[in-house]
Structure 1
Amino acid sequence: MFIKMLSIIWTLMTFIVTRGYDDLSANKVARQYKTHIGCQSCVANNAVDRDIQTCARMEDIGTSAPNRSTWWYVDLGSTYNVVNIRIQFKDYKGYTMRQRGRFAGFSLYVSNTTNRHMGQLCYKDGPQLPPLDFHTNCITHGRYVIFYNERIPGTTYPIGYVESPVFTELCEVTVTGCSSSGVYGENCDKVCPDNCQERRCDIINGTCLNCKPGWLGEHCDKACPAGQFGPQCESKCVGHCKYSVGCNHTTGLCDNGCDDGWTGSNCNKECPLGNHGPDCVYKCSAKCLGDVACNRKTGKCDTGCDIGYTGELCETVLTGCEIGTFAKGCSNQCSGHCLNNGPCNSTTWHCDSGCAPGYKEPFCNNTDLESNALMKSCNEPSYIAGISVLVIICIALGSVCLFLMWKHYRLVKKMHSLQYISVIRTSTQDNNADDCQQYEELRISENGYHNIEFRH
């Protein structure tokens, strides 16, 4: 009596919860593991034909049976918001507890594939034996509702579980929810928030099951913080968006394009050499000094312009320089030796009309004759200053030489005088000693002395 009242209360509560929702499984395609060999008419679709007298029946399983597990599923035909699953098991009058023990331990899954492991577990039977008219709320969405049960040898099962043989007989499986996508409420008449992923929301309160990329919150009404984007705002912006603004919080792209010098879908790639500007759409002028590439951001030549070109981007040919000037800004002077005093070329620096007599092409800044170069240089102040210094040095050296020559002359004269006195003294002493006539000859040749002969 108590069990019957409990079943009635359970059915009433389920009706309150499920009233107004749509029957999603009626007459849909169903499949099962091995139809029972003794009841070939007990096919899987009997559980969704809405006739309680016809049931699906599968081969038995058990710890001592050949089969250890069994399954059954219904294909709802599309992905729906599910609110409740009801299963009406086969009830043999007088064998209610046995039947409950057979169905005990089963699981229910809602999945987008027939693989239960890829779906959501909605219900797992515990130690309490299930009622033969079973209901459970399962607030989720999916396409397949899967029933699964098993009996594994060596497992200790709760009291009341039938371990072998176990016959699974499903008379009706009713899956309720909203048949229209993007709605919720007991009458399926409320629209899910716009930013719910796949427009799926809780079928009862309307909170989003998941958010679209770029959104957060129960109702997915909060955009990602600046600098973040994507599912659950887990990705960070990495590009260089124009005006240094953040990327799109949904896609991660730069809505206004890339900043100067950057390109790529996320504006995270530098411009290749030779290109510049937003998204690298502009070509460099190729007239940068030193044959280098222009600045990727500005397009300017950081090294300056090639000879004969000017402008911020070095794309303007120099023209209109005054006679005798050339190069960037017409700041350099020509050699001044073009034929008939003509101007040099402002781009090449050459004298297009030829050189004046005595000068070499193309720049007309060198002469053919060395003497002409010398004459030209003599007129220069630096050369005159050099000559003046040289003259002073020569005068100084000459004075020193004359002084040394005078000193030498005085020394020679003094030595002459000393030699003469010495010879006279020697001759007188010899005459008094031996009273003989002697001759002495003194020869001075290389030292500048004269030959002197003395007689006694």
Structure 2
Amino acid sequence: MNFDRIYFYLAGIFQVLTYDDLSQHKSATQAPIYTGVSVPLYEASNALDRNPTTCMRTENIGPNSPDKIVWWKVDLGRIYRIYSVNILFKLYPGYEIRQRGRFAGFSLHVSTNDGSLQSSSLCYKDGPELPPLNFTAVCIQSGRYVTFYNERLDGVRYPEGYEFVNAFTELCEVVVEGCTKPGVYGNSCETPCPIHCKNNDCNIKNGTCYECDPGWKGTTCQITCGKGWYGENCSQPCEGSCRDNATCNHVTGQCDDGCEAGWTGSFCEKECANETFGFECTNNCSGNCLNDSPCNKRTGHCDRGCNPGYADTDCSRECSSGYFGTGCREKCSSHCINNTACNHVSGICPNGCGNGYMGTQCNSTCKGGFYGNNCSLPCSPNCKETCHHTDGLCSCKAGWIGSFCNKECLPGHFGVACRESCSGNCVNNTTCYHINGVCLSGCQNGYIGHQCNQSCKEGYYGRNCSRVCPPNCKTCRNTDGLCTCMEGWMGYDCSYGRCSIGSEYGLKHLLLIKRILSISSVKKKIIKPCQTHSIG
């Protein structure tokens, strides 16, 4: 064996080996296992001892062997970022072409789990040209298991130079190069991966990111998502309503400065619940929007208007005192008791109505014949028409006076406002009826008429003027029939003939008259007819 040549090849390996050696002294397995002499000299681990003079060997494969495939596998112990795999195949002096033919057609596979070919990814596949015995394949992958695989299958036509008979696999050294530290790249394994590479994982050679953290893009993940996008591969559109029309956070999709008024949720994608509005939905609606409609989630305004009794854009203000109803356009009645304001919603007077008014809004006057509180007091029956609805005052019927027409005229008076006087001729000097002046018990002698204000007609006297004056009376008094006799007649009733001087009859008659009547004026009248006569 030419150790100088081997050292040359090994030196060639170390001359380019600047990454970390991930496979040295790691665990290795192989198949088919070599069954010839000196078996311990050909164990699978020989390829990892960094001694190029000790090699692994398997049984041969090919047409004259029961085995058709061969594999060798190293377990790196954990997942690493791999840069390359370097293989030093056994060199026998003078048999380099044969050895390259045995080596030809191999493939390299990398796996992160169990190392089976089915779960592995192809790292390198040899082509028709014979490979050099000192071979390096750049294999930038992440993995724990690296598998060398070759085959010589029956019925397959292989390229020229491939060895078919006694195709032994002899790997003297397998060096898996990469970085032991995660999150670094470069041939010194000292340069940190760009900070936004997903899982802090980047291309071990040039530092480009395989994937970016959410919210980043570009080969080195240094570019934020475009406006309106976020998340994995910047593939998710911003959904919410961020404050001041800001775009969402390019990483999380959330609104860093909060939500626009009227929106809430982690992504500002939810409208405020009914009855709330504004930034972060912390404000409560007035609750007075028309027909219980929700207020504007952004402004709190009642876009459809206010319930009766409320005003302003957000319907938070009650109608001003004295107004009520929809839009506060209706004016309260001025007749609420004690001038209290009506209810701002319904216009109802909460404490009732002032005197003379009725109805829930106190806008109706009392019905005819009633007045006062709740229109509960009846007007005086002596009112000429109806009384005033507030205080019961009225114009009086004839015979009545006073503010409420509840006082009769004073005795001796009657009629409207008691302005008329009784006749004074009622029987027994009784007063007349205060309403119409009628003498209810009748008239004194000598008077007739309802009010006893008419004297008897000439020729009549006495009660109800029912008596006729004597025929010889010139005139008789209406009350008692006392006569003024015609000439030639004398006596109380002028029933005596003409007087003569010295007449006995005349003297007797005169004496009788004196005894009956004591009034001198009467005596004079009685004797007057005879005064022209002398009595002697």
TM range, normalised to the smaller chain?
Answer: 0.5 to 0.7
Alignment of 1:71-220 (within 5 A): 71-91=71-91, 96-113=96-113, 114=115, 121-163=122-164, 166-220=167-221
Are the aligned partners of 1:73 and 1:144 in contact in 2 as well (CA < 8 Å)? Answer: yes
Structure possessing the higher radius of gyration over alpha carbons: 2
> For the aligned residues, what is the CA RMSD?
4.0
Cα distance between partner residues in 2 of 1:62 and 1:273: 81
Structure 1 residue 126, shift from structure 2 partner: 0.3
Report how far residue 222 of structure 1 moved: 2.9
| 1:25 corresponds to which of 1, 23, 26 | 23
Q: Does the CA-based 8 Å contact 2:90-2:172 persist in structure 1?
A: yes
Distance in 2 separating the partners of 1:64 and 1:246 = 71
Aligned counterparts of 1:359 and 1:277: Cα–Cα separation in 2: 47
C-alpha offsets along residues 376-406 of structure 1, whole Å, 9 cap, x if unaligned?
A: xxxxxxxxxxxxxxxxxxxxxxxxxxxxxxx
Alignment of 1:371-410 (within 5 A): none
TM alignment of 1:32-51, pairs within 5 A: 32=30, 35-36=33-34, 44-51=44-51
| Displacement of 1:227 | 2.5
Question: Map of 1:358-373 to 2, 5 A cutoff?
Answer: 361-365=359-363
Measured in 2, the distance between the counterparts of 1:29 and 1:161 equals: 30
Q: How does 1:253-332 map to 2 (within 5 A)?
A: 253-310=254-311, 312-315=313-316, 318=318, 321-322=320-321, 324-327=322-325, 330-332=328-330
Is the contact made by 2:7 and 2:52 (CA closer than 8 Å) also made in structure 1? Answer: no
Q: Which secondary structure state, in structure 2, belongs to the residue aligned with residue 296 of structure 1?
A: coil
**Separation in 1, partners of 2:217, 2:261:** 32
2:251 matched to which residue of 1?
250
Query: Do the aligned partners of residues 77 and 369 (structure 1) sit closer, same or farther apart at CA in structure 2, a change above 3 Å counting?
Result: farther
From the superposition, tell whether residues 150 and 302 of structure 1 become closer, same or farther in structure 2 (CA, over 3 Å).
Answer: farther
Contact 1:276 1:299 in 2 (8 A): yes
Give the CA deviation at 1:210: 4.2
Q: What is the one-letter code of the residue matched to 2:144?
A: R
Gap runs ≥5 in structure 2: 371-536
CA 328–218 in structure 1, closer or farther in 2 if over 3 Å, else same? same
**How do 1:65-76 and structure 2 match up within 5 A?**
69-76=69-76
How many pairs are equivalent? 364
Equivalent residues of 2:309, 2:327 under 8 A apart = no
Identity of aligned residues (%): 47
Q: 1:228 to 1:337 in 2, by over 3 A?
A: same
Q: What does the per-residue CA deviation read over 1:398-432, in whole Å, with 9 as the maximum and x for residues that have no partner? A: xxxxxxxxxxxxxxxxxxxxxxxxxxxxxxxxxxx
Structure 1 counterpart of 2:353: 355
How many Å separate the matches in 1 of 2:64 and 2:334? Answer: 116
Distance in 1 separating the partners of 2:53 and 2:9: 22
> 1-side partners of 2:220 and 2:325: how far apart?
68
- What amino acid is aligned across from residue 48 of structure 1 in structure 2? L
Retained in 2: the 8 A contact 1:82–1:203? Answer: yes
Q: What is residue 222 of structure 2 aligned with on the other side?
A: 221
Amino acid at match of 2:133: L
Asked if the contact 2:309/2:328 (under 8 Å) is kept, the reply is no
3-state SS, counterpart of residue 290 of structure 1: helix
Quote how far apart the aligned CAs of 1:33 are: 5.2
Q: CA deviation at 1:239?
A: 2.7
CA deviation map 1:341-390 (0-9, x unaligned): 54312244321112357765533446786999xxxxxxxxxxxxxxxxxx
In 1, the alpha carbon distance for the partners of 2:71 and 2:274 equals 64
Provide closer, same or farther for how the CA distance between residues 364 and 220 of structure 1 changes in structure 2, counting only shifts above 3 A.
same
Q: Secondary structure at the match of 1:100?
A: helix
- Cα separation, partners in 2 of 1:371 and 1:162, compared to 1, 3 Å: farther
**Contact kept? 1:215, 1:224, Cα under 8 Å:** yes
Q: Which has the higher contact order (CA 8 A, sep 6+)?
A: 1
2:43, 2:299 → 1: CA distance? 75
TM value normalised by structure 1:
0.65
Task: Tell me: CA distance 1:35–1:79, structure 2 relative to 1, closer, same or farther (3 Å).
Answer: same
Aligned CA distance change for structure 1 residues 153 and 342 (closer, same or farther; 3 Å): same
Cα distance in 1, alignment partners of residues 64 and 282 from structure 2:
76
TM-score (norm 2): 0.57
- State the alpha-carbon separation in 1 of the partners of residues 64 and 134 from structure 2: 28
Q: Aligned partners of 1:40 and 1:274: how far apart in 2? A: 86
- Which whole-Å CA distance do the structure 2 matches of 1:115 and 1:282 have between them? 63
Deviation at 1:86, TM superposition (A): 1.1
Q: What's the CA shift string for 1:25-70, capped at 9, x where partnerless?
A: 1122344456456698565444323344554455665578666544
> CA distance change for structure 1 residues 197 and 118 in 2, over 3 Å: closer, same or farther?
farther
Residue type at the aligned position of 1:333: K
Conserved 8 A contact 1:241-1:256 = yes
Q: Answer whether contact 2:196 2:212 (CA < 8 A) is retained.
A: yes
Give the conservation status (yes or no) of the 8 Å contact 1:141–1:200: no
d(CA) in 2 for partners of 1:115, 1:274: 63
SS at 1:102 equivalent: helix
The 1:304/1:94 distance shift into structure 2, 3 A limit, reads same
Q: Residues of 2 paired with 1:59 and 1:367: CA distance?
A: 125
Where does the alignment leave 5 or more consecutive residues of structure 1 unmatched? 373-456
